Amino acid sequence: MIRIRLPVAIAAAATMASMAQAQPAPSPVDAPRPAAAGKPVAATAASTYRINAGDELEVYVWGEERLQRKVKVLPDGTIAFPLVGQIKVQGYLPSEVEASITNGLSAQYVGAVPQVTVSVVVPSGMQFSVMGRVKSPGTFTPGRYVNVLEALSMAGGPAEFANLDNVLIIRKSGAQLSALSVRLTPLFKLGTDAKDVAGGNILQIETGDTVIVR
């Protein structure tokens, strides 16, 4: 057991973890190979966010008002788009969806297809839960990828007497569940530095994860 005395420790460790660890994003089997890992949805980084079921997208085809619309990603990870049909978008980058729509529209144009822009306007599909000995358990929609330290920070940090030697992440893969164990205690010792963080087992949270602190 470990007693957490410094309320700012979790936020500081999460910041160090973000600097020390790249955050790779999962890719569906039928998706093109990504050039970059997932990052926060923002005006400067929206193109690197991977789309989740439940997200709201805005599709803009330049010069074609009839093809400009907002669509919500269905639970099966698809959207329906005029003249193209059903498109698999879950796990894809917006730029990859742009390419899919452009390819689907190519038969409708003699020349080049007008530029297609896909934006994630409401990233509500990225959700995870934190429960157990944390100060503010619940379900969170960060709108970006986070690691397990950041997830604990969003839940208010570990409660007193929380056991950080065996934090569990319950992960869904289709109908299957798996348990991943994370040991965070070394990150809260005095003298922790970037090297300790880089060598730690700080996992990235995936949509649908449940983090359990005992």
Given a cut of 60, is residue 73 above it in pLDDT? yes
Given a cut of 80, is residue 190 above it in pLDDT? no
Strands in the chain per DSSP E: 56-61, 69-72, 78-81, 85-88, 116-122, 128-132, 138-140, 167-173, 176-182, 210-213
**Backbone dihedral region for residue 95 (phi beyond 0: left; psi -120 to 50: alpha; all else: beta):** alpha
Model confidence pLDDT, tens digit, residues 42-59: 333 445 688 999 999 999
Highest mean pLDDT among 4-8, 27-31, 122-126, 197-201: 122-126
Domains and CATH numbers, the chain: 9-24+126-213 (3.10.560.10), 50-122 (3.30.1950.10)
Residue 17 pLDDT level (bands cut at 50, 70, 90): low
- Residue-averaged pLDDT of the chain: 81
Res 196: pLDDT:
67
Q: Over the range 183-196, which residues count as b (16 or more CB within 10 Å of their CB) and which as e?
A: ebeebbeeebeeee
Res 78: pLDDT:
97
The residue-averaged pLDDT of 63-85 equals 95
Res 92: pLDDT:
94
Res 61: pLDDT:
96
The residue-averaged pLDDT of 163-174 equals 90
pTM of the model: 0.66
Residue predicted with more confidence, 81 or 17: 81
